Amino acid sequence: MLNTIVIILYLAALIIITYLGTLLIAKGSTKNKILIFACFCSVFLHLLGSLLEVTSINEDEAFTASKILYIGSSFIQSFYLLFLLEFLDYKKSKIFFFVPILLFSAISIFISWNTGKGGILEGWLYNGYTYYNDPVVYLQPNPGPFYYVYRGFMILYAISGSLLIVTKIIKWNKRYRKSLIIILLAQLIPTFVETLVFGLKLSGFEIHVYLTPLALVVTLILLYILATKYDLFEIVPKNHLDAIDSIKDCYILLDSNCGYFFSNKSADHIFPGLEGFPKGRKLDNLESWPKELHNLLLDNNYTINFDIEKDNVLYHYKASTSTIISGKISSAMLAIMISDVTDTVNYIDQIKTDSKFDYLITNIYNRRYFDDFMVSYEKKLDETDIYYIFMIDIDFFKRVNDTYGHQVGDDVLKVVAQTIKKTIRTNDTLARYGGEEFIVLVDCKDTSTAYALAERVRQNVSSLKINVEKALIKTKISVGISYRSPNQEVNSVIEESDKALYISKNNGRNRVTVYPKK
Active-site residues, by number, are 436
Q: Is the peptide bond before 135 cis (omega within 30 degrees of 0)?
A: yes
Nearest to 267 by CA among 303, 302, 317, 232: 317
Give the sign of the dihedral formed by CA 31, CA 329, CA 274, CA 187. Answer: negative
Is 120 strand, coil or helix? Answer: coil
What distance lies between CA 172 and its chain's CA centroid?
A: 21
Half-sphere exposure at residue 281, Cβ-oriented, CA atoms within 13 angstroms: 18
Residue 514 dihedral angles phi and psi, to the nearest 5°: -95, 135
* CA angle, residues 462, 463, 466, in degrees to nearest 5: 95
CB 331 within 8 A of CB 256: yes
* CA angle, residues 490, 491, 495, in degrees to nearest 5: 115
Distance set, CA 190 to CA 13, 44, 65, 118, 371 (Å):
14, 15, 20, 32, 81
Residues 6+ apart with CB under 8 A from 46: 69, 71, 72, 73, 76, 212, 213, 216
In sequence order, the β-bridge partners of residue 18 are none
For 119-126, the CB contacts below 8 A with 24+ separation are 125/150
